[in-house]
Amino acid sequence: MIEPAGARLLIVDDEVAHMQALCDTLQEQGYEVIGCTNGEAALAALHRGSVDLLLADLMMPGVNGIDLLRAALAIDPMLVGIIMTGEGTIGTAVEAMKSGALDYILKPFKLSAILPVLGRALAMRRLRLEKAALERRVQEHAIELETMNRELDAFTRSASHDLRSPLNVVLGFSSLLVSNLGPTIPIKQRDWLLQIERAARQMSELIDALMRLSFVGKQTLNLQVVEVAPLVHSVVDELRDEQPQRRVNVRVGELPAVMADPLLLRQVFVNLLSNAYKYTRKVETAEIEVACEQQGDEAVFRVSDNGSGFDTAQADRLFQAFQRFHRDDQFEGSGVGLSIVQRIVKRHGGRIWAQAAPGEGARFFFVLGAAATPKRRAVGER
């Protein structure tokens, strides 16, 4: 609440004696008070300096209390107004409230009746000021965030372009040296060139991953009903076509249709199933399962495998960008796939988590947001 010592009141009453008595009384209570006997003088006072509260008589010659309040609010929308009236009719109170008055008091009144009304009004003034300040800060932060996002996007694109140019030179010339001079280069120096070429290709893949990660956060969601089962089967078919030499047993259970962005949801399954394919590479009989279980109002999707797994003590880093739990000579990758999955799931208002153990495979669970209301659809297995 604005304390009396910090509150500035404007008292307007055409009865000079009444106005002066009210000013004297409220000054004794610690308020800073300005007194006027007509609306014109009150508006002039408002133009000279702001006040916290306007206490105006309803019936005055020239500019009456309601017209004065409207004009005062046009000057300072944060102002709180109280109307004084001797009529005491409900109609008067309603008209005053419609004009922007926070409250009204009836004449004649006692100090004990005025002070609580003033306290409530000044508390409302403080809330209005705090709300306006908060809205300004939110708007300023939104503008700052938008500016930072634009700058980050520009930096990402610029860095990608600036890094690719010298990288392509390194990659191109190292490849030429290996292909044209390979037989004549000593084995040790040839290995050096191959390592240069391998490192350049890895850097190129990291740049591509960085751009994909940046793109996910800016892409507009195109929500529509997505039949998840056909989408998953198409991803599995692509993986089988890419690795025809492998025999992987993929089971797709009953999956519901959901409300989601089809391209982004497809990317979720591409990344999760690609990981499952990759980390079951050294397993004699690779097993992958895609399933969904209804838990209350949520459809919990699960992608599990019997691959290499990981230590759950590292789970807090699992969805961070460029985090890898295996050496390059064990499993390739840039370390952004799961980070992209998490961003997509969160953009749908959902969440994702994992369970695993070294050598015992991994299970990834995710739930889309409330907007993705599922409907059951049986699809069988493949």
pLDDT of residue 285: 86
pLDDT above 50 for 157: yes
pLDDT of residue 316: 64
In a domain, 286, yes or no: yes
Q: Indicate if 239 and 343 belong to the same structural domain.
A: yes
Give how many domains the chain has, as a whole number: 3
Q: Indicate if 246 and 363 belong to the same structural domain.
A: yes
Q: Indicate if 148 and 25 belong to the same structural domain.
A: no
Q: How far apart are CA 367 and CA 346, in angstroms?
A: 9
Q: Indicate if 213 and 332 belong to the same structural domain.
A: no
Query: What does the mean pLDDT of the chain come to?
Result: 81
pLDDT of residue 283: 81
Question: pLDDT-based confidence at 248, cuts 50/70/90?
Answer: confident
Q: Bigger pLDDT: 91 or 269?
A: 269
Q: Bigger pLDDT: 335 or 69?
A: 69
pLDDT in tens, 300-337: 999 999 887 776 666 666 777 555 554 454 444 456 77
Beta carbons of 293 and 300 less than 8 angstroms apart? yes
Q: Indicate if 168 and 201 belong to the same structural domain.
A: yes
Q: Bigger pLDDT: 238 or 325?
A: 238
Residue 219, CA distances (Å) to 67, 144, 212, 232, 237 in order: 51, 20, 11, 22, 26
Q: Indicate if 211 and 232 belong to the same structural domain.
A: no
pLDDT of residue 323: 57
In a domain, 376, yes or no: no
CATH number, domain with residue 73: 3.40.50.2300
pLDDT of residue 54: 92
pLDDT of residue 34: 93
Question: pLDDT-based confidence at 84, cuts 50/70/90?
Answer: confident
In a domain, 256, yes or no: yes
In a domain, 380, yes or no: no
Q: Indicate if 211 and 331 belong to the same structural domain.
A: no
Pairing between β-strand 53-57 and β-strand 32-36 as defined by DSSP bridges? unpaired
pLDDT of residue 161: 64
User: Which are the contacts of 91, defined by CB distance < 8 A and separation ≥ 6?
Assistant: none
Domain extent for 10: 6-109
pLDDT of residue 378: 40
In a domain, 131, yes or no: no
Q: Indicate if 55 and 187 belong to the same structural domain.
A: no
Q: What is the mean pLDDT of residues 162-174?
A: 77
In a domain, 34, yes or no: yes
pLDDT of residue 219: 66
Q: What is the mean pLDDT of residues 125-141?
A: 90
pLDDT in tens, 278-288: 888 888 888 99
The lowest-confidence range among 22-36, 90-104, 343-357 is 90-104
Question: pLDDT-based confidence at 64, cuts 50/70/90?
Answer: confident
Q: Bigger pLDDT: 281 or 370?
A: 281
In a domain, 123, yes or no: no
User: Which are the contacts of 30, defined by CB distance < 8 A and separation ≥ 6?
Assistant: 3, 4, 5
Secondary structure class of 159 (helix, strand, coil): helix
pLDDT above 70 for 209: no
The percentage of residues in the chain with a pLDDT greater than 90, rounded to a whole number, is 23
Q: What is the dihedral of CA 55, 60, 62, 67, to 10 degrees?
A: 40
Beta carbons of 325 and 309 less than 8 angstroms apart? no
pLDDT of residue 380: 40
